[in-house]
Chain A
Amino acid sequence: MSVGKKDISCPPEAPGTPLKDSDIKEKKVTYVEDHPDMRYAWTAGQAISRFLNELKEGKLIATKCNKCRRILFPPRIFCELCYKPIDDWVYVQDTGTVQTFSISYIDPDARPLKEPIIVAVIAVDGASKNMAFMHVLGEVEPEDVYIGMRVKAVWKPEEEREGSVTDIKYWKPMEK
């Protein structure tokens, strides 16, 4: 007999009362429903306003700290490590390298997506390490994505751009 072995008996099955969707809809379960209407308009400020306006032009802009020599992306008006104002604005490329990615099959309401969404953190060419752009990948099969894959931004047509991160539709593989 092995040490510590005990005779374990399972408790008898308790069938309980299953809840049906209709029990909730018919309010057999007591609850109160509310749909708050809270809306905000966040001021983009000095750094991000410039960034968003540059997106309209099809460009990615960053800032530079001359002390730690980092290229800060997305741009900010201060270097958070040196705690000093930034020194310059510099453009970075709309190409980069997949740093990490996830192939997501479920939507925020936990329903299956028709097509999986490939979310990726893209290390942007020209920006410093850990200065990346989180976006989605397109024109690629999920099984073909890999860390280290080179990608390029696919922009919306100029007239459709509105100064939003969605002015880039997605990033696609550079190699074919």
Chain B
Amino acid sequence: MKVAVVGVGYSGFNANTPDLHWKEITLEAAARAYDDAGINPRKDVDSIVTCAEDIWEGFAIFDEFVPDQLGGVLKPTCTVCADFLFGVATAYMQIKSELADIAVVEAHSKASDILTFGETIKFAMDPIWLREIGNAHPYYFAALEMSQYVNECCITEEQLAEVVVKNKNNALRNSSAPYGSKITVEDVLNSPMVFDPMRKLEIAPRSDGAVVFVLANEDVARDITDTPIWVKGVGWWSETSNYDTMSFNAAYAYKAAKMAYKLAGITNPAKEIDIAEVDDRFAFKEFQHIEALQLSKRFETGTLMQEGYFAKDGELPVNVSGGSLGIGNLLEATGGQKALEIVLQLRRLAGRRQVDAETGVAQAWRYIPTASGAVAVFGV
């Protein structure tokens, strides 16, 4: 029994949302997803999976706040404390195990509600071992990882800047991308060195929004849509919680991708994947994740980036949506934005940024200070 995405909906994405409560953002995304799938959530949905982290919300036991706006009152719901793609994996398993015919996945970001973002990230750090070291904004954790990675892989400043240029320019073709900008490599190199070796423009700003997917088993999918997008494989992986013993080369993404590719029967990702959306909340992460997903070889990614291999009209478009650098950091909805773009592309609904693709991969990381992430492979 295969599993398909039969409906998608989203709200945003915006740098700020002063007019809407997070429940109202979620409602907007959910109502669109149910309309897209042509279903009535009160009758047709068997299970709801929300992906949320209490600390981003600012209140505990987030599970309790889930049902109403998703049409899930008096229905099985659960919250996965992770990125949207972990939720896709959970829903996939619920359908595969025949617990549900139709399962819904939701994630959102109301990052603009967080007044002390740096302090909130710090809350994820081991209180005895890491939290008291220095008093810099915790973005420096990403810079530490970047420093080692770009040195090991011989990635230049210009090559890093190319990622920002590509994604922010791609974002200009996406009306849902608030941080699109017609910038150049020079602009990036001139931006302030805020966490040496990381420049300001290499860091994704924050964004608000919500993503909702409706997943269904093969029978239901063929019944209700002419354009099912199959979930071909899912994978997730964690390294270690210790910042000082992580691989710093995204082993979590490599392993998660291996798991997803195995399910999808993909043996040569660089040839078989037509489009990828990877976590680029820091520019160097796009390099790491492209390599971890085996879309290019180590030491070659930088050159390929400069040659336009990952551009919209390149051999293997990466982050055509604008990525997180163009759309913003959507917290646990980051993977939702990535998966959404893949589904829209495979359904040929991506408008001005449409590329020719039949198989796509979405990947997200659990953000600093983690070495965890998830991957999903989609196909027509």
Contacts and interface: CB of A to CB of B under 8 A. Distances in A.
A83 B42 contact: yes
Contacts of B119: 36-39
A32 B127 contact: yes
Interface in B6-54: 17-24, 27, 31, 34, 40-42
A45 B115 contact: no
A78 B69 contact: yes
B113 to A, nearest CB: 5
A87 to B, nearest CB: 16
Contacts of B112: 43
A29 interface: no
B122 interface: yes
B245 interface: no
A41 B21 CA distance: 11
Nearest to A37: B119
A77 interface: yes
A45 B23 contact: yes
B193 interface: no
A47 B24 CA distance: 9
A46 interface: yes
B71 interface: yes
Contacts of B73: 80-81
B127 A45 contact: no
Contacts, number: 76
B268 interface: no
B60 to A, nearest CB: 12
A34 B127 contact: yes
B114 interface: yes
Interface string B98-124: 000000000000101111100110110
Q: How large is the interface on A (under 10, 10 to 19, 20 to 34, 35 or more residues)?
A: 20 to 34
A36 B20 CA distance: 28
B113 A43 contact: yes
Interface residues of B, number: 35
Given A36-B119, A41-B113, A82 B42 contact: yes
Interface in B128-167: 128, 131-132
Given A37-B119, A40-B113, A83 B71 contact: yes
Nearest to B34: A83
A45 B19 contact: yes
A56 interface: no
B313 interface: no
Nearest to B120: A38
Nearest to A30: B128
B116 A43 contact: no
B21 A46 contact: yes
A175 B115 CA distance: 46
A80 B34 CA distance: 14
B41 A47 contact: no
Contacts of B123: 36, 38
Contact of A80 (B68, B115, B127): B68
Contacts of B113: 40-43
A44 interface: yes
A46 B18 CA distance: 10
A57 B325 CA distance: 44
Contacts of B21: 42-48
A76 interface: yes
A43 B20 contact: yes
A39 B116 contact: yes
Given A78-B27, A80-B68, A81-B42, A38 B19 contact: no
B379 to A, nearest CB: 31
Contacts of A42: 21-22, 58, 110, 113
Contacts of B19: 43, 45-46
B128 A32 contact: yes
B369 to A, nearest CB: 15
Contacts of B24: 45-47, 77
Contacts of A77: 24, 27
Interface of A: 32, 34, 36-48, 76-78, 80-83
24 contacts: A36-B119, A36-B122, A37-B119, A38-B58, A38-B114, A38-B120, A38-B123, A39-B115, A40-B58, A40-B113, A40-B115, A42-B21, A43-B17, A43-B112, A46-B19, A46-B20, A46-B21, A47-B24, A48-B21, A76-B68, A80-B69, A80-B73, A83-B34, A83-B40
